[in-house]
Amino acid sequence: MKVLIVGSGGREHALSWKISKSPLVKEIFVAPGNGGTELENSIINIDIQADDIEGLAQFAINEKIDLTIIGPENPLVNGITHKFEESGLRCFGPSKGAAQLEGSKEFMKDFLKKYNIPTAEYSAFTDPIKAIDYVREKGCPIVIKADGLAAGKGVTIANNIDEAKEAIDLALESEIFGEAGRKIVIEEFLSGEEASFIVMTDGINAIPFPTSQDHKARDEMDRGPNTGGMGAYSPAPVVDSIVHKKIMQDVIYPTLKGLQEEGFKYVGFLYAGMMIDQDKNLKVLELNCRFGDPETQPIMMRLKSDLADLCFKSCESNLSNQTLEWDKKKSLGVVIAAEGYPSKYEINKKIKNIPSEKNDLKVFHAGTRFQEDSLTSNGGRVMCVTALGSSIQSAQKKVYNAISEITYEDAFYRKDIGYRAIAREEEK
């Protein structure tokens, strides 16, 4: 089997690395890939950008690609799966219509409401005056989100009217999120603990992957601006067996049923970002149409089953009766970002002394590339150091020990990834 993976981030490095372990796979291409995928002996980087749908389809035709896996959200929202299927190509990812669940927060919230899937109260606005009036009516804290794709950075938790007004003005007046922020969704603030719940689906059957928890805030103790994710760990203890069952029954299966009723084809990963309160009540914060980043990295470390085979079977509507094998160890990944991320940051900084791969340790690259045979930074999130351990705490210790070996002058990272799970471990 020849496999093409679309994307350039840490998620795509982790997926291609796991795919490379499959005995079914002869060749793996990543478009465009990064410095980490370039270092993998079994992976070939292709100089085609993830948003070049025509170029990707033509490459897949020319190379007789058997399976294409779409990593990021943008090509999905722009209809890459339709183009590939139109060309007779097998593509692991939802249709353009289904990808609206991630492409438009208003669409997603309306969908959840229509199919009685629990979520926060909300309203959508293009008029800043009406938006501010709504905030005054509802009170703070309140959550303000860019309607479209903003790389995980279009969310503000406003604790007072002034913060809300600033967030609304930045989106609707200053247009800092461009087209993505020309409409905003304002929703009630939810208390509790977040968890990432990801399933693989062929549109009917859904196979849950291990739970995880992402740390979206830039600073320790989950403070500071939102980012694409500063680290993650798996499993998330907040999702016990009761909560797991409720998410499948109240969120995942109703979502798949709703998609069928709307006539949307859905093959791929479905990601439900959940808020869970102390009474085990749950509400959907977001639905994403792809694997999370950085959740992919620790989850792929735990996966023992053949990912290529599973993705192929999903495309063939053949996921029924599939069981997955997972490493019983815990896993944790810490993102090393560039100083200044998620705002302004510098690139082209040299990176050296990256620890080599071990059975329980892997450094997944994101914003890296090679320049004149030197590995350099090429983005805000640069790499994700990921480890397995008998506990979240032991995995965390391995990760931070490995990070201490890396030479990268602009390195910025949180030093508390996994703190909630570790607190629970210490209570036992």
Residue by residue, DSSP assigns 76-123 as HHTTHHHHHHHTT--EES--TTTTHHHH-HHHHHHHHHHTT--B--EE
* Residue 115 lies inside a defined structural domain of this protein: no
Q: Which residue has the tokens 């990064």?
A: 34
* pLDDT tens, residue by residue, 36-68: 999 999 999 999 999 999 999 999 999 999 999
Q: With bands split at pLDDT 50, 70 and 90, how would you rate the model's confidence at 321?
A: confident
| pLDDT tens digits along 278-306 | 999 999 999 999 999 999 999 999 999 99
Alpha carbon distance 167, 225 (integer Å): 12
Q: Is 48 helix (H, G, I), strand (E, B) or coil?
A: coil
Read off the pLDDT band of 127 (50, 70, 90): very high
The strand pair at 411-412 and 330-338 is best described as: antiparallel
In a domain, 110, yes or no: no
Q: pLDDT band for position 178 (50/70/90)?
A: confident
Write the pLDDT tens digit of every residue in 394-408.
999 999 999 999 999
Q: What is the DSSP letter of 333?
A: E
Burial class (CB in 10 A: 0-12, 13-18, 19+), 323: exposed
* 3-class secondary structure, 171: helix
Q: Same domain, yes or no, for 202 and 304?
A: yes
Cα gap 106→351, rounded to integer Å? 41
Cβ atoms of residues 262 and 241 within 8 Å = no
338 and 365, same domain (yes or no): yes
Same domain, 171 and 218: no
Q: What is the count of structural domains for the chain?
A: 4
- The residue among 315, 340, 371 that closes a domain is 315
Mean pLDDT value across residues 1-19: 98
Out of 95, 117, 143, a domain closes at 95
- The DSSP output letter for 211 is P
DSSP 295: T
Count of alpha carbons within 13 angstroms of residue 36, beta-carbon side = 28
pLDDT of the residue at 90: 97
Last residue of a domain, one of 135, 150, 182: 182
Can you give the residue range of the structural domain that contains 387?
A: 330-427
Lowest mean pLDDT among 58-67, 108-117, 169-178, 310-319: 169-178
Q: Do 203 and 296 belong to one domain?
A: yes
Do 403 and 345 fall into the same domain? yes
**Other CB atoms within 10 A of residue 134 CB:** 18
CA distance 161 to 135: 7
Give residue 152's pLDDT band: very low, low, confident or very high (50, 70, 90).
low
Residue 176: its pLDDT value, please? Answer: 76
Same domain, 222 and 303: yes
List the structure tokens of 168.
């609304």
For residues 399 and 285, give the distance between their C-alpha atoms in angstroms, rounded to a whole number: 29
Do both 158 and 203 map to the same domain? no
Q: State the pLDDT at residue 232.
A: 98
pLDDT of 174: 84
Residues 199 and 301 reside in one and the same domain: yes
pLDDT for 428? 74
Name the β-bridge partners of 358. Answer: 361
Strands (E), 202-322: 206-208, 213-214, 217-219, 223-226, 231-234, 268-276, 282-288
Q: How many residues does the chain have?
A: 428
Report angle CA 48, 56, 43 to the nearest 5 degrees.
Answer: 65
**Distance from C-alpha of 194 to C-alpha of 234, rounded to nearest angstrom:** 13
What is the CATH number for 14?
3.40.50.20
Check whether 370 has a pLDDT greater than 90. Answer: yes
CATH (domain of 284): 3.30.470.20
Same domain? 162 vs 204: no
Q: Which residues pair with 70 in a beta bridge?
A: 6
CATH number of domain containing 371: 3.90.600.10
Same domain, 353 and 250: no
Residue 412 lies in a domain: yes
Rounded distance between C-alpha atoms, residue 9 and residue 294, angstroms: 9
In a domain, 209, yes or no: yes
Number of helical (H) and strand (E) elements in the chain, helices listed first: 15, 23
Within a domain: 19: yes
| Residues 194-245: tens digit of each pLDDT | 999 999 999 999 999 999 999 999 999 999 988 999 999 999 999 999 999 9
**Are 238 and 341 found together in one domain?**
no
List C-alpha distances in Å: 404 to 353, 377, 384, 397, 413.
Answer: 10, 17, 13, 11, 11
Residue 113 within any structural domain of the chain = no
Sole residue written with tokens 């993650």:
232
Residue 143: C-alpha distances to residues 110, 256, 274 (Å): 17, 27, 15
- Percent of the chain exceeding pLDDT 70 equals 100
Residue pLDDT, tens place only, 76-119:
999 999 999 999 999 999 999 999 999 999 999 999 999 999 99
Same domain, yes or no: 359 and 286: no
Cα(383)–Cα(369) distance, integer angstroms = 11
In a domain, 378, yes or no: yes
Q: Write out the two tokens for 422.
A: 């570790």
CATH of the domain at 158: 3.30.1490.20
What global pTM score does this model have? 0.95
Q: Two tokens at 370?
A: 């090679």
Residue 223 lies in a domain: yes
- CB-based contacts of 419: which residues, under 8 Å, 6+ apart? 221
